[in-house]
Amino acid sequence: MRATENFLLNLLKDTKIDSTPYRIIARTDLPSALDKLIEEHPELKEKVVRSALNALEKLEKKASRAVSVSERRFASLIYSWLIDRFCERHYNDLLAYEVRWKLQIERWKEHMALGALPLLAPFLYAVEGAPYRDEAERLLEQVLAKRPERTAEHDPFFQLLEYAEQFPPLKPRLLLTAGKWAMEDRDWEMARRLLTQAANEGDEKVRQKANELLAQLEHLHRHPQKFAKRLWEIDLWQLYLPSPQKAEDCLKALMELSDSPTSVGEADIDGKWLAMETHRDLICVNLSTGEIVWRKPLSWLHNLVVVSDTVILGISAWQPQLGEVKEVTALDAASGKTLWKRKLTGERIVFGKLQDKFVLAQWQGGSHKSKGKLLLLNPRTGEQESEQPLSWQEFLSWEERLRGYRRDLAKASLTDEQGRLIAMWICEGHWRTPDDTTIIVLFPSGKLAVYSVSQ
């Protein structure tokens, strides 16, 4: 591989070391060649690592379309060697701390999610004054400040409790956050237990905050925090009643819906539009008016994302030779017209949204030592705007993050202006807009209602 050969030649050109034996190994196994070079010439360890980091940085600065296939493979090999080989074998080396920070933390620090906590842990465990510890503390506060959405497959509350046991030095702070989340869920007994434990085990700062929250419990469990005013309501069942609505036709339609009374599968919102998979169709609703702006027949859907006035659908299939094959189709939210299509392959594929971008994480191969990548695409055009390699741990973190904003379980606690409970286990599911000011509630009756939420 030309990129590999050039890397080793440039690395050793100012030394008296013959690069030939290392280049021969690197033709089939670059990580082993670099391991051998450092083992035989430990004085070159820092130079090898910094050269590898510089090579990755140069490739990342190049426009995505200007990077050749061989350069992409070279970058993947270098990244894998740095994270999976060098950092594991030199775990407590200051150089390994720098590598982990630059490759696993720095590039994603603006978008850190709860799943990244294991990546932050080595820096948080370090002694005071150690490299990156103070910044890791700030990132931990950033991660804990924003609660991920609960989904049918994943509950971040229990993940936080698992991390509390997995990372004992962080336990009081994680229990404090879990107690706050329990208060938001109006689970007063759980909140009291977690906050009391945090106050007993934490330092002065944690103890003070936990006691402040405990003092609020008596007030919070007696008074509702949010009120919701209904803006509009539509009956999803009526979408499938034939016209004219003869009695026998209505009965037939209702019998067809009996196995799925709420008629909704996948759904997502972006603040302006609600797209959902109903009994037989994909519909798009204007959130401000409740108008169904378009409806399309749909046989099967894996997942969907609504971002930047675009509805993006994913339909998956499994092929033994390729793994998961997913066809991604983007539709204009206002008109339903197709904007672009793209086919993807990989062992595991997950997509979602990050601010106003469409984000796609892929994992190639069937082992943890395979390779992954993260793509950011323009949702309106499908054009790729950036690409980053992912380690296995990073892929899992992004997989959790991209799935985490999806449909929430029905543990909402909302009352209307008359004090009547409208959303706590009585609804099949609910979705929130990104600014948390609108909640869409799906009732078992098949009615879909939108509420404006206020303090």
Averaged in consecutive runs of 10 residues, what is the pLDDT profile of the chain (455 residues)?
Answer: 80 87 89 92 92 88 74 88 91 88 84 86 79 88 84 80 92 94 82 93 93 82 60 67 49 48 64 77 82 82 85 76 73 94 82 86 72 90 90 84 51 42 40 62 67 63
User: By residue range, what is the domain housing residue 16?
Assistant: 2-90
Do 128 and 208 lie in one domain? The reply is yes
What is the SS3 assignment for 271?
coil
Tell me, yes or no, whether 377 lies in a domain. Answer: no
Do 120 and 216 lie in one domain? The reply is yes
Say what the pLDDT of residue 223 is: 54
DSSP calls for 6-52: HHHHHHHTTSS---HHHHHHHTT-HHHHHHHHHHH-GGGHHHHHHHH
Do 146 and 193 lie in one domain? The reply is yes
Do 67 and 132 lie in one domain? The reply is no
- Rounded to an integer, what distance in angstroms lies between the CA atom of residue 455 and that of residue 453? 7
Structure tokens at 93: 């080396």
Radius of gyration of the chain (CA): 26
**Cis-peptide, bond into residue 118, ω within 30° of zero:** no
Cβ contact 112:142 at 8 Å: yes
Q: Please, what is the Cα angle at 118 between 113 and 120, to 5 degrees?
A: 75
DSSP letter at 149? P
Tell me, yes or no, whether 307 lies in a domain. Answer: no
- Rounded to an integer, what distance in angstroms lies between the CA atom of residue 88 and that of residue 199? 36
What is the SS3 assignment for 247?
helix
User: Beta strands of 320-421 (E only): which ranges?
Assistant: 323-332, 338-346, 348-354, 357-364, 371-377, 384-390, 415-416
Say what the pLDDT of residue 416 is: 44
Say what the pLDDT of residue 262 is: 44
Nearest to 108 by CA among 406, 368, 391: 391
Do 135 and 216 lie in one domain? The reply is yes
Please, what sign has the CA dihedral across residues 275, 277, 282, 285? negative
Tell me, yes or no, whether 177 lies in a domain. Answer: yes
Tell me, yes or no, whether 142 lies in a domain. Answer: yes
Please, what sign has the CA dihedral across residues 27, 28, 34, 40? negative
Do 157 and 214 lie in one domain? The reply is yes
Picking from 57, 90, 123, the residue at the C-terminal end of a domain is 90
Picking from 164, 198, 220, the residue at the C-terminal end of a domain is 220
Picking from 199, 220, 241, the residue at the C-terminal end of a domain is 220
Tell me, yes or no, whether 201 lies in a domain. Answer: yes
- Rounded to an integer, what distance in angstroms lies between the CA atom of residue 87 and that of residue 207? 36
Do 80 and 124 lie in one domain? The reply is no
- Rounded to an integer, what distance in angstroms lies between the CA atom of residue 248 and that of residue 239? 16
Say what the pLDDT of residue 41 is: 92
Phi-psi map region of 394: left, alpha, beta (phi>0 left; psi -120 to 50 alpha): alpha
Distance, C-alpha 436 to centroid of its chain:
18
Do 59 and 146 lie in one domain? The reply is no
Cβ contact 257:263 at 8 Å: yes
Do 190 and 133 lie in one domain? The reply is yes
Phi-psi map region of 330: left, alpha, beta (phi>0 left; psi -120 to 50 alpha): beta
Do 146 and 196 lie in one domain? The reply is yes
Cβ contact 177:198 at 8 Å: no
Structure tokens at 91: 């775990």
Residue matched to tokens 């339609």: 253
Residues 351-389, buried b or exposed e (16+ Cβ, 10 A)? bbbbeebbbbbbbeeeeeebbbbbbbbbbbebeeeebbb
Cβ contact 210:195 at 8 Å: yes
Structure tokens at 8: 């080793």
**Interacting residues of 310 by C-beta distance below 8 A, sequence separation 6+:** 330, 331, 332, 333, 339, 358, 379, 380
Tell me, yes or no, whether 77 lies in a domain. Answer: yes
Phi-psi map region of 192: left, alpha, beta (phi>0 left; psi -120 to 50 alpha): alpha
Stated as kind and residue range, the H or E segment containing 60 is helix 45-61
Do 78 and 166 lie in one domain? The reply is no
Q: Which amino acid is at 260?
A: S
Tell me, yes or no, whether 387 lies in a domain. Answer: no
Count of the separate structural domains present in the chain: 2
- Rounded to an integer, what distance in angstroms lies between the CA atom of residue 125 and that of residue 189? 31
Do 145 and 196 lie in one domain? The reply is yes
Say what the pLDDT of residue 240 is: 57
DSSP letter at 147? P
Strands 338-346 and 348-354: unpaired
Cβ contact 265:407 at 8 Å: no
Say what the pLDDT of residue 34 is: 93
* Residue 274 buriedness (CB in 10 A; 0-12 / 13-18 / 19+): buried
Phi–psi pair at 355, nearest 5 degrees? 55, -115
